[in-house]
Structure 1
Amino acid sequence: MKSVKQAAILIGGRGTRLGSAVRITPKPLLEVCGRPFVEHIMLNLRRFGFTEFVLLAGYQSKVVYEKYALESTFAQQLEANIEVVVEPSPMGTGGALRHAREHLQDEFLLLNGDSIFDFNYLDLSNCQREGEPDDWLCRVALLAVESATRYGFVDLDGSLITAFREKPKLPQSGLINSGVYWLKAQMIDAIEVGPCSLEQDVFPRLASEGRMLGRTYKGFFIDIGIPEDLEAARANLSHNLRKPAAFLDRDGTLNHDGGYTHKIEEFKWIDGAKEAIKLLNDAGYLVFIVTNQAGIARGYYDAAAVETLHDWMAGELCELGAHIDDIRYCPHHPEGSVPSLSTECDCRKPNTGMLISLIERWNPLMSESFMLGDTDQDAEAGIAVGIYGKKIEPSSILQEVESLLE
């Protein structure tokens, strides 16, 4: 089963560089593309299985509390829990984190609420890489930029962060701290009581002790801390967060098709299938499964068995730092034995109902999307909705994905 993943989001800063825009509204709650900016962060995290959100509020905390702590409509839409923890007085990022200690899991994601870095969060949270020390307390997502004048540099020696350097006076390329961290809660116990800064007080000490890991990722990044970038986000964030999609068949494409596969003990991944999904995640693709499940119409198993198997698949992928964004399956077949399902339908491939449902829900970039499967019907369904569709050979999913990404 999928483990519950928690994300804590720092939204307590005053955002003084934005002037009157934040007079009564915390910076992360400013409207961007039709919703508060912090909601874009949570929606993006929800794709990766994060279902517990802790908002660390300070400035204008009443606004945050009233919007998200009291029977939040957004939490219901998100199908997640949102908790608001208010610091009693300005405590800095380190103090706010220590104040929230009892609300946080043993390991959790921490993010700045005024920036979005769109990458595969599960790689940061789930994957222990070869050569990394076991006694780390914090993993940091790093981003390579052309100019670090707003952020300062991070020095990296192998996997270890060795230093945080001041902002250069002139434009200079380098690695910056993106404001996304995977933390062990025991790190919080080392934070002194009282106001302090993670960036200025806590992280430099951890780096000197060799307990901070850095990993470099690619992806869209924006920080709304200055008026120019806030306006850029308002103009372009929805566009920049759109992604192409990989539509994948299941039986015969991701797993060996033994005939009506529906039990966990019968499911055998095709070599390279999980790695192919992670490659797509890392490349910024939405990943969908679209699968005909005629065994339901034939009475061999029910929808609950399919859902259970898909939950198990998600757990397997999560251990690798990979995930499926959404799944559609067709339970119909005209020769079935279950009367209500023994019918022609618009979702059974090569019909396009499952794909259209996903397209309407996720609005992917169609020009870069594709459909892969082990039958002609899979390819035909993709072509019919206007994307590249291909029938692939058994056990070739990894090679096909590598080729398409190149």
Structure 2
Amino acid sequence: MTRKAVFLDRDGVINVDHGYVYRKEDFEFVDGIFDVCRYFQEQGYLLIVVTNQSGIARGMYTEAQFQELTEWMVARFAEQDVTITRVYHCPHHPDFGPEEARNCECRKPEPGMINTGLDAYGLSAEHCIMIGDKRGDMEAASAAGIGTKILVTSGQALPPEDLRSADSVWESIQGANQTLYT
């Protein structure tokens, strides 16, 4: 049996990107995210979040605050009968934090978080999907050999080269209904 997953970026895909969200009071789920994730789960995909969190390196919030929000988010998915298998995050930034952490392998567009998930769960990369809202998400997925790359524009005006980095472009997660359910 082929093991497969949907890798999801967080800010801009799971929640509205208000910039450096680390408190549940500021966390606003994107309309339709639970339905889309439930659909993929029913199709046999694991759901794995891969998120850059440079706010930690910038000193805007702590690792503990990120973990608290993550636990709260995963519990909200569970209430909707959706299992988030794992959340990977990169707390680094090339311009902030300790020198040794500035050139990490985990910060997208590097594929480190995706590769870790592929290895940890014995996944077949070519059968996996990446859903992100930035070109860096698509580049990380390509570098990891992910079979399908979906870019969600979430109202952003993205340049053509960003749009070309994906196999499919959705206006929103909610708009996935036309793609997935037809």
Q: Same fold (TM over 0.5)?
A: yes
1:273 aligns with 2:49: no
Tell me the CA shift for residue 402 of structure 1: 6.4
Report the structure, 1 or 2, having the larger strand content.
1
Q: Say yes or no: does 1:259 pair with 2:50.
A: no
Partner residue, 2:47? 287
Question: Does residue 372 in structure 1 map to residue 131 in structure 2?
Answer: yes
Does structure 1 conserve the Cα–Cα contact (< 8 Å) formed by 2:118 and 2:124? no
Counterpart of 1:75?
Answer: none
Give the 3 Å change call, closer, same or farther, for CA 262–298 of structure 1 in structure 2.
same
For the 8 Å contact 2:13–2:173, the answer to whether it is kept is yes
Please state how far the C-alpha of 1:340 moved relative to its aligned partner.
Answer: 6.0
Residues of 2 paired with 1:340 and 1:401: CA distance?
Answer: 44
TM-score, normalised relative to structure 1: 0.39
User: In percent, how many aligned pairs have the same letter?
Assistant: 36
Equivalent position to 1:399, from 161, 167, 175: 175
Give secondary structure in 2 for the equivalent of 1:397.
Answer: coil
Q: Using the alignment, how far apart are the partners of 1:263 and 1:285 within structure 2? A: 28
* AA of the residue aligned to 2:149: G
Q: 1:134 maps to what in 2? A: none
Contact 1:331-1:341 within 8 A present in 2 as well: no
Alignment of 1:153-172 (within 5 A): none
Amino acid in the other structure paired with 1:373: G
- State the secondary structure of the residue aligned to 1:383: helix
Q: 1:402 to 1:365 in 2, by over 3 A?
A: farther
Match of 1:306 in 2: 66
Per-residue CA deviations over 1:225-272 (Å, capped at 9, x if unaligned) read xxxxxxxxxxxxxxx3x4211011000111011110000100000100
Higher relative contact order (CA 8 A, sep 6+): 2
Q: Which amino acid aligns with 1:318?
A: A
TM-fit CA distance, 1:284 = 1.0
Q: CA RMSD in A?
A: 1.9
Letter in 1 for 2:30: I
Which of these two proteins has the greater Rg computed from alpha carbons? Answer: 1
Cα distance change on mapping 1:320 and 1:283 into 2, 3 Å: same
Match of 2:158 in 1: none
1:314–1:283 Cα change, 3 Å: same
Q: Which runs of 5+ in 1 are unaligned?
A: 1-239
Task: Summarize the Cα distance change of 1:370–1:404 in structure 2 as closer, same or farther, 3 Å threshold.
Answer: farther
Counterpart-to-counterpart distance in 2, 1:351 and 1:307: 22
Q: 1:369 to 1:401 in 2, by over 3 A?
A: farther
Equivalent residue, structure 2, for 1:358: 117
> Retained in 2: the 8 A contact 1:292–1:330?
yes
Distance 1:322 1:254, change over 3 A: same
**Rounded Cα–Cα distance in structure 1 between residues aligned with 2:106 and 2:125:** 19
* Structure 2, unpaired ranges of 5+: 155-170
Residue 115 of structure 2 contacts residue 144 of structure 2 at CA under 8 Å; is this kept in 1? yes
